[in-house]
C-alpha cells in the first residue's frame, strides 16, 4: 500500500512536471520578450534607431506615420517577425505585393538605414522585427505622442504570407469584421479603438475611401455618416474617376501630430476611412464609449495606445533559437 501511494505521488509529480514544461513551451515566447533584452549586447540600440528616424523625419514629415504602419502590417501577418520587409525571391513571395501593401506601405529605405546603423555598432545582434518595434515607438514619440518600454527579443522569420496579408484589417471593413480580425490575434475592442487612433497622423490615398464619396455600399450615394462639408472637400480632392493615388490627411485637424484629434473628428463625422467612422457611427457599438473616452481625455488615449502597442507587439513573436537575425532585412540569410 505504501509503495502504491508513493508511486501515485511520483506519477502526479511527473504529470505536473510535463504540464509545466509544455506550458512554458507554449507561452515562453511572450515571456522571453523584455525591455532590457539588449542591455548587455546592444545597450544603445534605442538611441541609434531614434536618431535615424529623426533624421528621416526632418526631410519627410510623413515617415513617422509610415514606420508605425509598417509595424502594424508586420504584426498582423504571422506575428511580429519582420516578414513585411522581405522582397520576392526564389523562395519568398513578398507581402509587399499584397493589395493592402502594394504601392501603399513605405519606409523600407529608412528601415534599411536603421539596420545599417545598428549593424555598425552591434553586428548580428538586433533583429529586423525589433527594429520595426523600436522605430514605431520612436515615431510616435517624435510626433508628440506617448512613449513606452518596447519589449524586445524577437527574431526574424524566414517566410512571408501574402495570403494572410490580403486578409488583414482593411479600410473597407465594417465594425464586426474589424472586431473579429483583432480578436483573431488576441486583441480586444479597446485595442481596436486605440490602435485605430494611429490614424491621427499620416495620409491615405483616394482609392481607399472614394467609394464612401460616391457609391457607399452600392447605393449610388455618399456615405450618410460623412459630414456634408467634409464630404464636399473630399470630393474635390478625389473626383470621381480621378487619380486614386492622391494623398489625403487622415486627420484633417492636426495631420502631422500624434494627438487625440482623430477621435474628436469621429464625433464630428469626419473620419476619413470607413473603418475609422465605423467605430463611432455603428449604432449601439461597444466602441462608441471608448471613442468618447479618448476624445475627452488625451492622456487616457495615450495610456491605452501604449498598452495596445505592447499587446500588438506580443503577437506570436519568434524567440530563442527560432527564426534568425537577418543581416539584410530584405532577405533571409
Per-residue pLDDT at 17 exceeds 50 = no
Cell triple for 40: 548587455
What is the CATH T-level fold of the domain 44-166, as seen in this structure?
Peroxidase; domain 1 (1.10.520)
H-helix segments, the chain: 2-32, 45-59, 63-75, 108-121, 128-142, 162-165, 175-184, 189-196, 210-214, 228-237, 261-267, 274-281, 287-296, 298-313
pLDDT of residue 32: 82
Tell me the C-alpha distance between 81 and 130, whole Å.
8
- Domain map (residue ranges) of the chain: 44-166, 175-312
Helix (H) or strand (E) holding 204, with range, is strand 203-205
* Fold of the domain spanning 175-312: Peroxidase; domain 2 (1.10.420)
Give the Cα separation of 320 and 333 in Å (integer): 17
Q: Is the pLDDT score of 14 beyond 80?
A: no
128-142 vs 108-121: helix axis angle to the nearest 10? 110
Q: Which three cell numbers stand for residue 49?
A: 534607431
13 CB-near residues (< 8 Å, 6+ apart): none
Residue ranges of the annotated binding site for substrate are 169
Q: What percent of the chain has pLDDT over 90?
A: 90
Give 157-205 pLDDT, tens digit per residue: 999 999 999 999 999 999 999 999 999 999 999 999 999 999 999 999 9
Tell me the pTM. Answer: 0.90
Annotated active-site residue in 73, 179, 212, 261: 73
Q: Is 71 a catalytic residue?
A: no
Amino acid at each position: 500500500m505504501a509503495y502504491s501511494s508513493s508511486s501515485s505521488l511520483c506519477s502526479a509529480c511527473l504529470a505536473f512536471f510535463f504540464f509545466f514544461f509544455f506550458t512554458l513551451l507554449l507561452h515562453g515566447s511572450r515571456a522571453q520578450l523584455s525591455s532590457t533584452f539588449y542591455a548587455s549586447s546592444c545597450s544603445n540600440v534605442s538611441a541609434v534607431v531614434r536618431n535615424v528616424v529623426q533624421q528621416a523625419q526632418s526631410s519627410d514629415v510623413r515617415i513617422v506615420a509610415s514606420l508605425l504602419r509598417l509595424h502594424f502590417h508586420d504584426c498582423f501577418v504571422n506575428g511580429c517577425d519582420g516578414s513585411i520587409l522581405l522582397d520576392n525571391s526564389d523562395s519568398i513571395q513578398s507581402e509587399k505585393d499584397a493589395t493592402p501593401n502594394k504601392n501603399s506601405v513605405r519606409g523600407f529605405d529608412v528601415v534599411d538605414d536603421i539596420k545599417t546603423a545598428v549593424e555598425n555598432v552591434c553586428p548580428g545582434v538586433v533583429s529586423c522585427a525589433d527594429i520595426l518595434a523600436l522605430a514605431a515607438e520612436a515615431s510616435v514619440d517624435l510626433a508628440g505622442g506617448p512613449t513606452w518600454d518596447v519589449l524586445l527579443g524577437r527574431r526574424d522569420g524566414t517566410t512571408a504570407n501574402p495570403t494572410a496579408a490580403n486578409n488583414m484589417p482593411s479600410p473597407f471593413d465594417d465594425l464586426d469584421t474589424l472586431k473579429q480580425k483583432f480578436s483573431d490575434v488576441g486583441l480586444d475592442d479597446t485595442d481596436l479603438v486605440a490602435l485605430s487612433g494611429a490614424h491621427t497622423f499620416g495620409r491615405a490615398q483616394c482609392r481607399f475611401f472614394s467609394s464612401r464619396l460616391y457609391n457607399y455600399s452600392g447605393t449610388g450615394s455618399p456615405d450618410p455618416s460623412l459630414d456634408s462639408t467634409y464630404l464636399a472637400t473630399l470630393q474635390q480632392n478625389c473626383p470621381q474617376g480621378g487619380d486614386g493615388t492622391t494623398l489625403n490627411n487622415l486627420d484633417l485637424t492636426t495631420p502631422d501630430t500624434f494627438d487625440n484629434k482623430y477621435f474628436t473628428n469621429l464625433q464630428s463625422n469626419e473620419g476619413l476611412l470607413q473603418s475609422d467612422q465605423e467605430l463611432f457611427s455603428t449604432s449601439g457599438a461597444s466602441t462608441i464609449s471608448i471613442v468618447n473616452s479618448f476624445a475627452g481625455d488625451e492622456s487616457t488615449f495615450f495610456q491605452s495606445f501604449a498598452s495596445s502597442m505592447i499587446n500588438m507587439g506580443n503577437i506570436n513573436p519568434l524567440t530563442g533559437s527560432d527564426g534568425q537575425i537577418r543581416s539584410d532585412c530584405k532577405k533571409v540569410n
